[in-house]
Structure 1
């Protein structure tokens, strides 16, 4: 996915036919190691294709994917839910010290392009 994103960024940046070197330049600028074979594969697969058509085609495919279930209407909570809310409000709120230390790692060990 990172190679496709770099290809699209290069194209949006004005490069009509991005090369694997363009992808390497973009990805290495944000500290990502580049696999030459994957970069070349993305360039060869996208070469000569209209990116606008590919994006439109992809949107159609994404629209057909199920998204999880029926939407629920926003409204007043039911009696059972209201009872649970009261029980949660009454519970003492003690945060263990270990959790505070773990929160320091805000990105949870994941980078933007990992």
Structure 2
């Protein structure tokens, strides 16, 4: 993540925690109050992406459905439950494919 999208993400979380509407103007005012300079298009993108969505619900559904061992690998997913479930399913498949037992030999055979 670049600095701009990190700052806007934090601003969106602040607004969600305050149960305030996430608008481009609100995102920019929070980042400016923090002494940061963020391009307006970043605020526009985040406001449009989060329009009509419950950010807290997205975060909690993501945290609840992500496996504990895949926390670092899945933390970059910005989408909700469907993307998280796909990532978890792919990770399980990769773990199965990497097993030496599936190939008929092991390290000490």
Q: Give the TM-score of the pair, scaled to structure 2.
A: 0.51
Among 12, 19, 28, which residue is 2:32 paired with?
Answer: 28
Q: Which has the larger radius of gyration?
A: 1
Q: Which residue of 1 aligns with 2:57?
A: 53
Q: Residues of 2 paired with 1:58 and 1:28: CA distance?
A: 29
Aligned length in residues: 66
Task: Give the direction of change, closer, same or farther, for the CA distance of 1:31–1:44 in structure 2 (3 Å limit).
Answer: same
Is residue 65 of structure 1 aligned with residue 70 of structure 2?
Answer: yes
The Cα of 1:58 is off from its aligned counterpart by: 2.4
Is residue 18 of structure 1 aligned with residue 22 of structure 2?
Answer: yes
SS at match of 1:65: helix
Structure 1 gaps, min length 5: 68-114
More helix by share: 2
Q: Which residue of 1 aligns with 2:79?
A: none
The Cα of 1:11 is off from its aligned counterpart by: 2.5
RMSD across aligned C-alpha pairs, in angstroms?
Answer: 2.1
Q: Which residue of 2 aligns with 1:2?
A: 7
Q: Residues of 1 paired with 2:12 and 2:52: CA distance?
A: 13
Task: Give the direction of change, closer, same or farther, for the CA distance of 1:66–1:3 in structure 2 (3 Å limit).
Answer: closer
Among 40, 45, 55, which residue is 1:41 paired with?
Answer: 45
1:75-86 alignment runs, 5 A limit: none
Q: In the alignment, is the contact (CA less than 8 A) between 2:22 and 2:50 conserved in 1?
A: no
